Amino acid sequence: MAQAPRRDDPDPLELLDDAAARRREMLPDLAGDDAAYVPHLATLGHLIDVYMQRLLKPHGISVSDHRVLSTLRIMPRGHPATPQDLNRVARITSAGMTRTLDRLEDAGYVDRVPNPDDRRSVLVGLTDAGWEFAASVMRDMHAHYETVAADLSAAERKASLETLRGAISRLADAITRTR
């Protein structure tokens, strides 16, 4: 679980800038900003984790719970998914998916039924309570998400999104190349 920043924590951008300055001092032959790209993305990922945890805490669910509920909620109602299908979006380990589904089933938000096409597998679907709960959480989250970019113009939002999509694509390609 990501650790939440405290009030007295230094600004994350200051930490990144300090690290970049030390890196340039210790390894002057490295290219300037190239080495800062991934640490910036890592910091962004950490801050998103902390933000999500704080927003989901009042709902009593974890980030992985939210990912699974949201994935099922955007599917057509009555169309269950396999845990493997859910994991493509939720990006959690197989054991983590099992624990997540156990929690959500215990809470009454999902049902697991045998997969008629593969007896080694199950299908996961939202219960009526899960359908409503997921919609409520998604509406609440969306309202918070809007505040993050509230001071950006539509053009700035579009440009930021394109930059982030490019970063995701490049990172996914780099992962594929390092297998």
- Which CATH number does the domain housing residue 93 bear? 1.10.10.10
25 assigned to some structural domain: yes
User: What pLDDT score was predicted for residue 27?
Assistant: 81
Is position 163 within any domain? no
Number of C-beta neighbours around residue 44 at 10 A: 13
Higher pLDDT, 27 or 128: 128
Please give the structure tokens belonging to residue 133: 């709960």
- Residues 105, 78 share a domain: yes
Q: What is the pLDDT of residues 86-126, one digit of tens each?
A: 998 888 888 999 999 999 999 999 999 999 999 899 999 99
How many whole angstroms separate alpha carbon 154 and alpha carbon 156?
5
- Give yes or no: residues 49 and 75 share one domain: no
Q: Give 53's Cβ-side CA count (13 Å radius).
A: 11
Averaged pLDDT score across all residues of the chain: 89
Range of the domain at 72: 60-148
**What is the structure's pLDDT at 55?**
95
Per DSSP, what are the bridge partners of residue 81?
124
- What is the spatial distance between Cα 152 and Cα 45, in angstroms, rounded to a whole number? 20
| H or E segment and range at residue 111 | strand 110-115
Res. 59: pLDDT tops 90 = yes
In a domain, 4, yes or no: no
Cα(163)–Cα(34) distance, integer angstroms = 15
Angle between helices 37-56 and 154-177 (to 10 degrees): 110
DSSP 25: H
Say yes or no: 47 and 64 in one domain.
no
16 and 78 fall within a common domain: no
Q: Say how many domains are in the chain.
A: 2
Structure tokens at 111: 């049902």
In a shared domain, residues 83 and 40: no
Rounded distance between C-alpha atoms, residue 18 and residue 54, angstroms: 27
pLDDT score of 28? 79
pLDDT for res 39: 85
How does DSSP classify residue 61?
-
**Three-state secondary-structure class, residue 114:** strand
Give the predicted TM-score (pTM) of the model: 0.80
